[in-house]
Amino acid sequence: MILKKKITYFDVFGELVFNRVMILIFRKYIVRILLYISFAVLAAAGFWLFLSEGRFTGTWSGEQIWWTLYSTETGPGLLKALSLCGQLFFAFVMGMIISRQIKRNPSAELSFFYLFLFSFSLQLFRLPYLAEGAGYLTATGGYISRIIYFSRILGLGSLFAASLFSSGLQIQKFGMVFLLVLLTSFTLASILPLNISSVSGSLLNRVAREEYLALFCTAMEVLTVLTYIATARNQGRAEYYRLAFLNLLIIAGYEFLFFLYVPLMIPGFICLVPGTVIYIRTSRKLFLWS
């Protein structure tokens, strides 16, 4: 005998109130707090660059091109520092632009895309590995790497969540999806098995059996693009094909930049910045004013 829980009016009303409160809190408080954090992170990075006076070390073991692909060459620390600072500047400027749109209208798609942009701000924690005498950071037990992987899963999960809402998921589910993305990111980052004895050129500790994490991240990226394509086919609107292509550009730029492999840094920004700007403009017209 299968027991079914009877859904009452109070259950539906409670869920509705919870999600409306979450949307209100996100628009009025969380967005503003995250924007302040992004600015503080950018200022801290600039101050760190000023104090370092261009002195960077290359104590890492090999360059990480993409997940399990490695190179024995060592990239210059200065370029890695500039790439990280560029990502912090990108996160603040794009976040400031999109936060204004979120305050005007509660768009779940733009809200989750804002979380993706904010995830770049957490790259600040990689900068200390470039400082002279950074060997002491191995004593952190991999906490820095866990923060970075948390930001990565949070960013990709937010992109996927944005695609789900664009496909027709009701905004009343915003609170539930928001908490699910946060909990999933925190849980996976906490249980990752890390090799804390060495740091790769990506300024991260290596993950044991990292092909599984690579498969998980790649699956979210592919599903994000496919969701927009499916939405375009179901709704018959060409704008969603454009969003699928723009997300492909954004994801490509994100992948190029994440591992700090010097030859891929410029292509990464070339894909990421235009893709983000056009995505914001297209989403604003589609989700706020359609």
Q: Give residue-wise pLDDT tens across range 212-245.
A: 888 999 999 999 999 999 988 888 888 889 999 9
| Gap between the Cα atoms of 7 and 56, Å rounded | 60
42-99 per-position pLDDT tens digit: 898 888 877 776 666 655 656 777 767 677 776 777 788 888 899 999 999 998 888 8
Of 170, 149, 159, which Cα lies nearest the Cα of 112?
159
In this structure, what is the dihedral angle of CA atoms 154, 90, 247, 152, given to the nearest 10 degrees? -20
List the domain boundaries for the chain: 10-288
CATH of domain 10-288: 1.20.1070
Question: Tell me, what's the pLDDT at 285?
Answer: 72
Count of C-beta atoms within a 10 Å radius of residue 280: 19
Q: pTM of this prediction? A: 0.84
Q: In terms of Cα–Cα distance, which of 118, 186, 115 is closest to 149?
A: 186
